[in-house]
Chains A and B, each alone.
Chain A
């Protein structure tokens, strides 16, 4: 069984496309589309890595990230943030709150696979900001 990844993204067609892509890459993929229940889903699924969209219904990805970093159980959980191109402040805020990497929409599949590979290969202490 591959590593478990939780995609927190409210756009169903993005979830389906990258879920299919990452499954073929050997990931065990779970998807979730609501911001307000994202923390509970993370606790339930216990993923190895989270892909987290900034704009979600109910609660923003940045708030979820802040809570993840405040909780000792998820402080070191690798998080890849998805932001929209042109929202530079979101990216800066995501990195300040402790995101491990970010990708800007629209990203390519190759970028996504490559960034996730970098995050999961690196030891926890060496994971730090990067992305497109």
Chain B
């Protein structure tokens, strides 16, 4: 399947998925064809990807197979698809022998959802552990407290070694010097013991067993926001006074770094809500069909505020399921609101073709783009880079970029869409000019 245009690849996957779902239900081709009012030979052509389908027939097939139409047209969700792709790539790099059949990921996900989930979970866990290992390696190399502790310990060892060497090699050493060196040895041995204990305490302090190896403060705070659907009614109505209640109910807040980060993020949420209240943005957004391009004036010059507020609208009020990514000028991801079908990598950079990065070159100028993802989804993205802090006259400000994403409305097609991806590490577009 590699090398096919994405549109054809999607259509091809739809046929496969219909066949996989039918076989999984133990249904004969003729029975399914009859259920949806087509001939078995026509269904056979569809299942072998020789006929494109959509609309009524797709809905009828989905009903007969007892699945959502999207499950047939979109297959495995994008995050799962990307995770399996990444897992396959890592396997290719690390092991010899039989290569994973990446062209049949959808088939794998449809037939063996449990095993697929296990592969994805293990891949994520490995990525998390690798990030932890990287962090520890960095800490070993650059931690000033550890460097000083190591130096103190080795200085004690150096003193003991030099002193012991003198005592061992000079049997005729003056008694006064001998006594002095013996005292020094004792003193230095005591100091070494204390320094070794202190260094071990330094290693043990930051991570408790409860916090787990893969749970960083940003992950804990992301989980808090995800659990709330990125909408906090008590902060919308009470402002900053509602923050304590949110934190009190959240998991993982016993970790001081997570607690501090959650407070910072919720303070920002409260400021945003005060500047652009729900009763202002929600009716305006409904009126504008939730199109950020028609809502920019609400931010009074602050486009990022409008994007963040759109990403915090409650789904129950009819808002689309928006995704959000915020990064700094180095491209490091600071915050994200994930979408099931738009993968934003936790570790490493996203796709260089995302407007999230393009806007960093033009602070203050909002950009919109339509993105065609490799697994078939078409998304609209709106991004802007804005200063978040000034460092002085004549000096460049500290800039952050914000990108809002949402599935594109189907009637607009994908002609103008940029063939983008979830980030080079996860992306199957081998020929992409932006690929690292």
CB-CB nearest 4 A-B residue pairs? A17-B162, A13-B159, A106-B158, A105-B158
Chain A residue contacts of B166, Cβ below 8 A: 17, 20-21, 109
* B interface residues with partner A (beta carbon < 8 Å): 147-148, 150-151, 154-163, 165-166, 177, 180-181, 184, 187-188
Q: Give the chain B neighbours of A82 by CB distance below 8 A.
A: 158
A13 contacts B187, C-beta separation under 8 Å: yes
For residue A86, CB closer than 8 A to chain B, the reply is: yes
B150/A21 in contact, CB under 8 A? no
The interface residues of chain B, by DSSP majority, are classed as helix
Is A105 a contact of B177 with CB atoms below 8 Å?
no
Q: Which residues of B contact A105 (CB under 8 A)?
A: 151, 154-155, 157-158
Q: Quick one: closest A residue to B170, CB to CB?
A: A24
Which A residues fall within an 8 A CB radius of B?
11, 13-14, 16-18, 20-21, 53-55, 82, 84-87, 105-109, 112
* Cα A54 to Cα B188 with chains together (Å): 20
Least Cβ–Cβ distance between B426 and chain A, in angstroms: 34
Q: Is the CB of B155 within 8 A of A16?
A: no
Q: How far is the CA of A87 from the CA of B147 in the complex (A)?
A: 8
Q: Report the minimum CB–CB distance from B137 to chain A (whole Å).
A: 13
Closest Cβ–Cβ distance, residue A32 to chain B (whole Å): 16
Known: A11-B155, A87-B147, A106-B161. 6 other contacts (CB 8 A): A13-B184, A20-B177, A21-B162, A21-B166, A85-B154, A108-B161
State the main secondary structure of chain A at its contact with B.
mixed
Q: Which residues from chain B contact A84 at a C-beta distance below 8 Å?
A: 147, 150-151, 154-155
List of B residues within 8 angstroms of A54 by Cβ: 151
CB distance from B187 to the nearest CB of A (A): 7
For B161, the chain A residues whose CB sits under 8 A away are 106-109
Q: In the assembled complex, which residues on chain B have CB atoms less than 8 Å from the CB atom of A21?
A: 162, 166
Contacts of A85 in B (CB 8 A): 154
